[in-house]
Chains A and B, each alone.
Chain A
Amino acid sequence: MKENQKQGDKGVLKRIAGPVVAAVGVNAHMYDVVKVGHEELMGEVIKIQGEEIIIQVYEDTSGIRPGEPVENTGLSLAVELGPGLLTSIYDGIQRPLAVLVDKMGDFIERGVSAPGLDHAKKWNFEPLVREGDAVKPGSIIGQVQETNIVHRVLVPPNAEPATVRSIKSGSFTVDDVVCTLDNGTELTMMHKWPVRVPRPVTEKMNPDIPLITGQRILDGLFPIAKGGTAAIPGPFGSGKTVTQQQLAKWSDAEIVVYIGCGERGNEMTEVLTEFPELEDPKTGKPLMERTVLIANTSNMPVAAREASVYTGITIAEYFRDMGYDVSLMADSTSRWAEAMREISSRLEEMPGEEGYPAYLAARLSEFYERAGLVETLNGSSGSVSVIGAVSPPGGDFSEPVTQNTLRIVKVFWALDAKLSQRRHFPAINWLNSYSLYLESLNDWYDREVSPEWNVLRSWAMEVLQKEAELQEIVQLVGSDALPEAEQLTIEVARMIREIFLQQNAYDAVDTFCDMSKQYDMMKTIKAFSDLAYTAQAAGVTPQQILSTKAKNDLPQIKFIKDYKPELDRIMGEMEKEFNALRSSV
């Protein structure tokens, strides 16, 4: 990288009003990181006008006075990328929270800096290239067993192509040189990357494999692809956070980055205590071993909240560049947008809609565009899937953050307060939600689940849609007034809702449901439906069909781990009951 000429330049503070301060006499570029005041609080240049630079400060500015010094570091806000990221929990600017507890106690004070990685810890580096091998930006030069995940050490994307002059093997810290190139570049296991700059890739590809989450309504009806983008908007209490956490726990990504952006402290603690205890259904290892957490709670400095989203996605891209499938959850992007709004209003910028800055849409789309299934610089394939929670004020989806997000993302999981009030969880509205990946994923479902699956899904959606129409009539005339066939539709729709769509995140078995169980469940409901319509056509009354007993045992299937024998028994009974009914006509 070229040396920034402005490094070490000093000036003085001129004005302080909350997290935004002004200084004069500092030579700076946009987004340079500066040290503010005698306590050297960390800040970032966000505006330059004439002699004056405007800085957003990542820490509380109480007591800071005009006249105190400001020093430019000449660097952009960057994160440290290397072994030690996994299992970490960071604040919005990649300070490890555990280290902060050691340095300043239980409360977050200010003026303490802490590097993102542990620079004293030694890792066992195993080289994968030899002297004389040609390497280029993004090449893998070696690996480290970080947790149960293998951490691949990369040539930084901004290095020049070269030949390996020497490479070591053994135990090193992230600062030790492990590889020297013939152009003189010395490589360590770590490199830094500015958070606001997307990491380069060779090519972006179209995603065609679903991110399996174990959540029936998501995998079954509205799947997201690996490398895709999804938004979960919903009013408070509708289950955004639980859904996000379920995804972080069970989605079949290899790495999970979870950003708690301006959310509750106790919720982050819940994640912190729960994740180390939970097992990854694939590997049996603690989920924490594949997770990086970023927690900038609502009462932590607002500028650091603004940065937390970029910190998270940069870490996600880094693991993608190693060839992993990464999923990133941001809870909540509305708090991020509010941080932008707060800083923008302190800059006295001309506001756009509802006081949000005019560049809101641009920032959102830039962020979501960093997702994707890619061919990395070293030719492997990796992906970042981004799932953003949105917290619309009053649950009103017409507000700017929701609207601007929906213009970009491909999957929309609409949370519905009405459903959560009746404890229908996950409270995702099946009529409003959509996934634009359905078509590109069809092949995968055909191949990996069953050729029947896509038919079953369309059938289920049709029944649910039909039910919605019928409910409007029921509201007017009562359910008894419906024609017999439609009374059955209502019943079948109820079964799809209660058996398939509802899922208990707190039940040990039901919390994760793989595709084959989803398929079996849906197939059984369809079988009931077929039996019911055939019987009704043969003259059996809906009352008789509704009073059959075997179907009442179906909901219990959710809670049984080895459900197959029970499901076969229910299927058998169901057929018997219907045979009896038909022969009685």
Chain B
Amino acid sequence: MKEYRTITKIAGPLVFVEKTEPVGYNELVNIALYDGTVKRGQVLDTSDDLVVVQVFETTAGIGRDSGVRFLGETIKMPVGKEMLGRILSGGGKPIDGGPDIVPEKRLDITGAAINPYARASPEEFIQTGISTIDGTNTLVRGQKLPIFSGAGLPHNNIALQIARQSKVLGSQEEFAVVFAAMGITKEEANHFMDDFERTGALERAVVFLNLADDPAVERIITPRLALTTAEYLAFELGMHVLVILTDMTNYCEALRQIGAAREEVPGRRGYPGYMYTDLAGIYERAGIIKGKKGSITQFPILTMPGDDITHPIPDLTGYITEGQIVVSRELHRKGIYPPVNVLPSLSRLMNLGIGEKHTREDHKKVSDQLYAAYAEGNDLRGLVAIVGKDALSERDRMFLEFADLFEDQFVRQGYEEDRSITDTLDIGWKLLSSLPVEQLVRIDRELIQKYHPQFRGAAKAAE
């Protein structure tokens, strides 16, 4: 393989190489430094006279005397069953002191799009034990459901609780967790690792760590390595894989950094115009394939800059993912855990995974009614601040109280508390029974007769 010493320009993470033989787009590149260390990169732009290489680590130490080798293939990830229980760097190298991974296969990390025709429709209800998710924003297997959070909010604990408690009722299938950290602090990483170790989840996990002080550009490949691993575990070994990606905001920052270095025309707030397509290339790698046993369920976590849900990162994410779980600073300040604000939260695949076949026949309508009542009560809080409680009508006062009860009993639960779906729905009914029956316009009468505590009591008494 030919080594070139024709670097003409180095700018940020980009290296420009001249006078090469034809080099393939997206090809892997090794750059050898004077001291013998080798840095990896990827071809971003190739033409007869100039090749632009994006280096995954820092460009520190690279000079015009460095040697460049083009490896003639795109980036591949060695994968194998042995990866379970291992901790790898953000670039995919083992960092737990263990041996190198013996690959059973080497897979392209970009990953091809799943043919929509080959997908199976996700519909298996995953019980996370958290009421605000199971009851009102139900997760199903094969879904991608991000957590939209803010700096200083307990999104990590929520993700851990989900990872720990998630189960499909009545099934004992093989599962695995793939955890990819991008630019999080060592402390946060430890928090995850300790919890994985404490609960024994580590044995079933593959961990990729790109920490805050690791090269930012490496973050571009970390989620792709993780998802390539996940696809192998799910679609070749038949496991049900839960992928946690944290923090996608750092990923997007790295994307912007490269765009700026390439002097591209920026889109909104300086993020590249292709960020939607790029993020889709990550988030869409979730789902179920017809005739294959495994599945990939994704939990990306992102911190919204300035808690702003219209910021390009949460905005583009929300347009790709199947809903979002929004963590609220206001609820957190009130001391409520998990501080999930159900109003802007959403699970698009909820209707596929609930109802008689999956959870319970009243699920959809109870959820709608809880939403409607809580939204109404929440609106009235603004009004009370201006006119005082006394100016409210009787009806309004009931809804106002409902909102408080909802936050206190439905939203609030313990970090270790694992509620069954029946418990969650029953809490919902208990709260709804604080409202007059005729206000429950979203629920049909038969369901009210069957599940409303008032009638249930009556039915029992009659027996």
Interface Cβ pair total, 8 Å cutoff:
233
Select one of A65, A295, A345, A477 contacting B116, CB under 8 A. A295
Which residues of B, 319-336, contact A by the 8 Å Cβ criterion? Answer: 319-320, 322-324
Residues on the A chain within 8 Å of B352, using CB: 270
A264 within 8 A of B: yes
| 9-residue interface stretch from A94-102, A150-158, A359-367 | A94-102
Select one of A65, A342, A393 contacting B22, CB under 8 A. A65
Binary CB contact string for chain A from 473 to 503 against chain B (1 if under 8 A, 0 otherwise): 0111111110000000000000000100000
Select one of A63, A98, A394 contacting B25, CB under 8 A. A63
A451 within 8 A of B: no
A39 → B minimal CB distance (Å): 12
A62-B74, A421-B375, A552-B438 given as contacts; is B25 within 8 A of A393 (CB)?
Answer: no
Residues on the A chain within 8 Å of B191, using CB: none
A63-B74, A498-B441 given as contacts; is B47 within 8 A of A265 (CB)?
Answer: no
A338 within 8 A of B: yes
A62-B25, A101-B118, A556-B444 given as contacts; is B281 within 8 A of A475 (CB)?
Answer: no
Most buried by A among B25, B27, B120, B142: B25
Binary CB contact string for chain B from 332 to 351 against chain A (1 if under 8 A, 0 otherwise): 00000000000110101101
A89, B116: Cβ atoms closer than 8 Å: yes
Q: How far is the CA of A64 from the CA of B26 in the complex (A)?
A: 8
Which residues of A, 152-203, contact B by the 8 Å Cβ criterion? Answer: none
A412 → B minimal CB distance (Å): 20
Residues on the A chain within 8 Å of B121, using CB: 266, 269-270, 272-273
Residues on the B chain within 8 Å of A98, using CB: 117
A422, B376: Cβ atoms closer than 8 Å: yes
B237 → A minimal CB distance (Å): 15
B92 within 8 A of A: no
A421-B344, A474-B383 given as contacts; is B319 within 8 A of A63 (CB)?
Answer: no
B323, A237: Cβ atoms closer than 8 Å: yes
B105 within 8 A of A: no
A265, B119: Cβ atoms closer than 8 Å: yes
Residues on the B chain within 8 Å of A335, using CB: 276
A236-B315, A423-B372 given as contacts; is B47 within 8 A of A345 (CB)?
Answer: no
A67 within 8 A of B: yes
Residues on the A chain within 8 Å of B127, using CB: none
A89, B47: Cβ atoms closer than 8 Å: no
Binary CB contact string for chain A from 52 to 95 against chain B (1 if under 8 A, 0 otherwise): 00000000111111111000000000000000000001000000
A109 within 8 A of B: yes
A89, B117: Cβ atoms closer than 8 Å: yes
Residues on the A chain within 8 Å of B114, using CB: 106-108, 265
Residues on the B chain within 8 Å of A100, using CB: 115, 117
A207 within 8 A of B: no
B274 within 8 A of A: yes
| 9-residue interface stretch from A13-21, A127-135, A312-320, A442-450 | A13-21
Counting chain B residues whose Cβ lies within 8 A of the other chain, the interface size class is 35 or more
A270-B121, A341-B267, A396-B310 given as contacts; is B48 within 8 A of A66 (CB)?
Answer: yes
Residues on the A chain within 8 Å of B129, using CB: none
Residues on the B chain within 8 Å of A109, using CB: 112
Q: Which residue of A lies closest to B311 (CB)?
A: A394
Residues on the A chain within 8 Å of B372, using CB: 422-424
B391 within 8 A of A: yes
Residues on the A chain within 8 Å of B267, using CB: 341, 354-355
B25 → A minimal CB distance (Å): 4
A15, B48: Cβ atoms closer than 8 Å: yes
Which residues of B, 14-36, contact A by the 8 Å Cβ criterion? Answer: 22-27
Q: How far is the CA of A498 from the CA of B146 in the complex (A)?
A: 31
Select one of B289, B349, B441 contacting A106, CB under 8 A. B289
A264, B284: Cβ atoms closer than 8 Å: yes
A354, B268: Cβ atoms closer than 8 Å: yes
Q: Which residue of B lies closest to A89 (CB)?
A: B117
Residues on the B chain within 8 Å of A260, using CB: 116
B46, A62: Cβ atoms closer than 8 Å: no
A60-B110, A354-B267, A423-B371 given as contacts; is B22 within 8 A of A299 (CB)?
Answer: no
B319, A478: Cβ atoms closer than 8 Å: no
A338, B273: Cβ atoms closer than 8 Å: yes
Q: How far is the CA of A341 from the CA of B274 in the complex (A)?
A: 8
Binary CB contact string for chain A from 204 to 221 against chain B (1 if under 8 A, 0 otherwise): 000000000000000000
A67, B22: Cβ atoms closer than 8 Å: yes
Residues on the A chain within 8 Å of B101, using CB: none
Which residues of B, 415-449, contact A by the 8 Å Cβ criterion? Answer: 438, 441-442, 444-445
B344 → A minimal CB distance (Å): 6
A428 within 8 A of B: no
A16-B46, A299-B281, A478-B383 given as contacts; is B375 within 8 A of A423 (CB)?
Answer: yes
Most buried by B among A241, A260, A342, A549: A342
Residues on the A chain within 8 Å of B310, using CB: 235, 393-396
A175 → B minimal CB distance (Å): 25
B91 within 8 A of A: no
Which residues of B, 382-405, contact A by the 8 Å Cβ criterion? Answer: 382-383, 386-387, 391-393, 396
Binary CB contact string for chain A from 371 to 411 against chain B (1 if under 8 A, 0 otherwise): 00000000000000000000101111000000000000000
Q: Which residue of B lies closest to A269 (CB)?
A: B119
A115 within 8 A of B: no
Residues on the B chain within 8 Å of A107, using CB: 111-115, 118
Q: How far is the CA of A106 from the CA of B288 in the complex (A)?
A: 11
A267 within 8 A of B: yes
Residues on the B chain within 8 Å of A295, using CB: 116-117
B203 within 8 A of A: no
Residues on the A chain within 8 Å of B264, using CB: 345
Q: Which residue of A lies closest to B394 (CB)?
A: A543
B329 → A minimal CB distance (Å): 17
Most buried by B among A15, A272, A298, A348: A298
Select one of A105, A108, A338, A478 contacting B392, CB under 8 A. A478
Residues on the A chain within 8 Å of B318, using CB: 235-237
B249 within 8 A of A: no
Q: How far is the CA of A265 from the CA of B316 in the complex (A)?
A: 16
A220 → B minimal CB distance (Å): 19
B100 within 8 A of A: no
Q: How far is the CA of A572 from the CA of B368 in the complex (A)?
A: 30
Binary CB contact string for chain B from 217 to 239 against chain A (1 if under 8 A, 0 otherwise): 00000000000000000010000
Residues on the B chain within 8 Å of A268, using CB: 116, 119
Q: How far is the CA of A474 from the CA of B396 in the complex (A)?
A: 12
Which residues of B, 59-86, contact A by the 8 Å Cβ criterion? Answer: 73-74
Q: How far is the CA of A105 from the CA of B113 in the complex (A)?
A: 11
Select one of A338, A476, A479, A559 contacting B276, CB under 8 A. A338
A265, B116: Cβ atoms closer than 8 Å: yes
Binary CB contact string for chain A from 522 to 560 against chain B (1 if under 8 A, 0 otherwise): 000000000000000000000000000100100110010
Binary CB contact string for chain A from 327 to 359 against chain B (1 if under 8 A, 0 otherwise): 000000001001001100100100100110000
Q: How far is the CA of A272 from the CA of B231 in the complex (A)?
A: 23
A-B contact pairs, 23 of them (CB 8 A): A16-B46, A17-B46, A18-B25, A22-B47, A65-B23, A66-B47, A105-B118, A107-B118, A109-B112, A236-B315, A237-B318, A266-B121, A266-B322, A298-B277, A302-B274, A355-B273, A393-B312, A394-B310, A396-B310, A476-B387, A478-B391, A479-B391, A506-B364
Q: A16-B25, A89-B116 are in contact. List 18 more A-B contacts (CB 8 A).
A: A15-B45, A17-B44, A17-B45, A61-B26, A66-B22, A97-B116, A235-B318, A264-B284, A268-B119, A272-B116, A272-B117, A297-B116, A298-B280, A355-B267, A422-B371, A423-B368, A478-B392, A479-B396
Which 10 A-B residue pairs are closest in the complex by CB-CB distance? A394-B310, A478-B391, A422-B375, A298-B280, A15-B47, A97-B117, A62-B26, A107-B112, A236-B318, A65-B22
Q: Interface on A for B, CB 8 Å cutoff?
A: 14-18, 22, 60-68, 89, 97-98, 100-101, 105-109, 235-237, 241, 260, 262, 264-270, 272-273, 295, 297-300, 302, 335, 338, 341-342, 345, 348, 351, 354-355, 391, 393-396, 417, 420-424, 474-481, 498, 504, 506, 549, 552, 555-556, 559
